[in-house]
């Protein structure tokens, strides 16, 4: 303030600019104190040089400020860090409670599987307890066997999203530029999973806040991007659940942290019209053992060219493949069954499902995620 002569009008102009930034960034606890560090004005006690300022000096304000967050995260959730099994009679799930509390007898849901079980016992450190709350490291034992591993999340009275796709605002910290298609290991909660940056929506100008269209991000750049994961993950917007809404991108070669991100939008697994590329469909089929796959050519995006590309990829991978396209063959069921017994992958190309064998398990190849059962196919095969 000594550089501007302790001028009230200039101070008020600065306050107006800071308040505008406060609103833009969604900040809720901002104190603006005029001071002069060189002269000690308003540092430890009120200054006579600033009689128009009615607030506290800096040090009294810092000593009395409430550092507790005003917003409590919804429900209870516990990202699993470790499965503890000292003997065959005990199987506990360890981690730090990120929100809420839990009691013996509570019903918990496991994400991403969706299975449910009740709390049989709780250990805080090495002490048996009837309850535990946010911030405590705990070991939780459930009343039945549930498939849980590191990266799973136990929840109660809240439901973060199970997803493979999200949008995030990131700070790029790598010397190399970020471009669409780059692959990383992503650390989200306690889970480490491969992922790919599939889109850069815009870069943010730190001076003006403007959103600029770009094709790459340089070091110290801030941008909004889309990220797709290889496996299903449990995530949420940062403003809802902080631990599940923050992640880092790790370079797969150097193992260096390339970016820090906060999640701004999450797309559920069963979101309508989530298109799959031909490459994803081909990849999912090539990974499978010999079985029959239905290509319903009456569906948009499923056509003969896709069938040919899948067959070619299967042959290159060393698998036996047969394309079956006889719509009205009377012996279709027998032909497909015998091919499967011989270890041949059968690609059934048809525009009429009713003429296909009805006693043989055939996986339908889909172009869009439209329902839970289709999501199950995507999770299983891709």
Structural domain contains residue 123: yes
Over the stretch 260-272, which tens digit does the pLDDT of each residue have? 999 999 988 754 4
pLDDT band at 26 (very low <50, low <70, confident <90, very high): confident
Residues 193 and 121 in one domain: no
What single-letter DSSP state applies at residue 99?
B
Residues 81 and 144 in one domain: yes
Where residue 365 falls among pLDDT bands split at 50, 70, 90? low
Question: Is residue 69, in this structure, part of any structural domain at all?
Answer: no
Domain end (from 268, 297, 321):
268
Higher-scoring residue by pLDDT: 370, 83? 83
Contacts of 4 (CB under 8 A, 6+ apart): 10, 11
Mean pLDDT, all residues of the chain: 82
Same domain, 96 and 173: no
The pTM is what? 0.62
How confident is residue 369, by pLDDT bands cut at 50, 70 and 90?
very low
Asked if residue 71 is part of any domain, the answer here is no
Answer yes or no: do 87 and 129 share one domain: yes
Question: Which two structure tokens, joined as six digits, stand for 155?
Answer: 């929840």
Residue 70 lies inside a defined structural domain of this protein: no
CATH number at residue 89: 2.40.30.10
Tokens of 12: 């008020």
pLDDT digits (tens, 9 = 90+) for 39-79: 888 898 888 888 999 889 999 999 888 776 555 788 999 99
166 shares its domain with 135? no
Whether residue 151 sits in one domain with residue 133:
yes
- Same structural domain for residues 180 and 255? yes
In this prediction, residues 341-364 reach a mean pLDDT of 61
Q: Flag whether 13 is in a domain.
A: yes
φ, ψ for residue 349, nearest 5 deg = -100, 115
Extract the tokens encoding 346: 């059968």
Q: Are 233 and 150 part of one and the same domain?
A: no
Q: Let me know whether 349 and 283 are in one domain.
A: yes
Q: Which residues are bridge partners to 185 per DSSP?
A: 194, 250
Q: Domain check: are 234 and 253 in the same one?
A: yes
Residues 42 and 133 in one domain: no
pLDDT for 154 equals 96
Q: Which domain holds residue 139?
A: 76-156
Total domain count, the chain: 4
Q: Is the pLDDT of residue 38 over 50?
A: yes
DSSP track, 175-234: SSPEETT-EEEEEETTEEEEEEEEEEEEEE-TTT--EE--SEE-TT-EEEEEEEEEEEEE
Both 288 and 250 in one domain: the answer is no
Q: Which of 113, 128, 156 is the last residue of a domain?
A: 156
Determine the average pLDDT of the residues in 194-216: 90
Domain end, chosen from 136, 156, 176, is at 156
């Amino acid at each position: 303030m000594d550089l501007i002569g302790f001028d009230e009008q200039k101070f008020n102009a600065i306050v107006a600019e800071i308040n505008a930034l406060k609103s833009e960034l969604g900040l809720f606890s901002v104190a603006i104190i005029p001071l002069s560090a060189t002269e000690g004005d308003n540092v430890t006690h009120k200054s006579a040089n600033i009689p128009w300022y009615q607030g506290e000096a800096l040090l009294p304000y810092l000593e009395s400020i409430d550092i507790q967050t005003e917003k409590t995260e919804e429900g209870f959730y516990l990202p699993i860090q470790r499965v503890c099994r000292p003997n065959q009679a005990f199987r506990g799930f360890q981690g730090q409670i990120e929100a809420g509390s839990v009691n013996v007898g509570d019903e918990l849901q496991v994400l991403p599987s969706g299975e449910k079980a009740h709390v049989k016992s709780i250990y805080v450190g090495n002490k048996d307890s009837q309850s535990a709350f946010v911030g405590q490291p705990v070991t939780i034992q459930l009343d039945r066997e549930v498939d849980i591993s590191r990266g799973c999340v136990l929840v109660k009275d809240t439901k973060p999203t199970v997803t493979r796709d999200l949008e995030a605002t990131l700070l790029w910290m790598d010397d190399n530029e970020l471009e669409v298609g780059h692959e990383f290991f992503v650390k989200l909660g306690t889970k480490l999973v491969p992922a790919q940056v599939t889109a850069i929506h815009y870069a943010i100008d730190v001076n003006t806040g403007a959103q600029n269209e770009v094709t790459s991000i340089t070091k110290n750049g801030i941008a909004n991007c889309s990220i797709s994961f290889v496996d299903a993950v449990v995530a949420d917007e940062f403003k809802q659940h902080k631990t599940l809404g923050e992640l880092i991108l790790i370079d797969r070669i150097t193992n260096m942290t390339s970016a820090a991100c906060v999640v701004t939008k999450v797309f559920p697994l069963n979101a309508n019209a989530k298109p799959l590329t031909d490459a994803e469909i081909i990849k999912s089929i090539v990974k499978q053992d010999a079985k029959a796959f239905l290509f319903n050519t009456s569906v948009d995006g499923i056509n003969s060219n896709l069938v040919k590309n899948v067959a070619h990829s299967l042959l290159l991978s060393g698998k036996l493949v047969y394309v079956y396209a006889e719509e009205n063959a009377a012996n279709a069921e027998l032909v497909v069954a015998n091919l499967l017994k011989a270890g041949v992958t059968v690609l059934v190309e048809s525009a009429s499902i009713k003429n296909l064998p009805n006693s043989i398990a055939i996986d339908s190849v889909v172009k869009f995620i439209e329902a839970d059962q289709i999501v199950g196919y995507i999770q299983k095969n891709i």
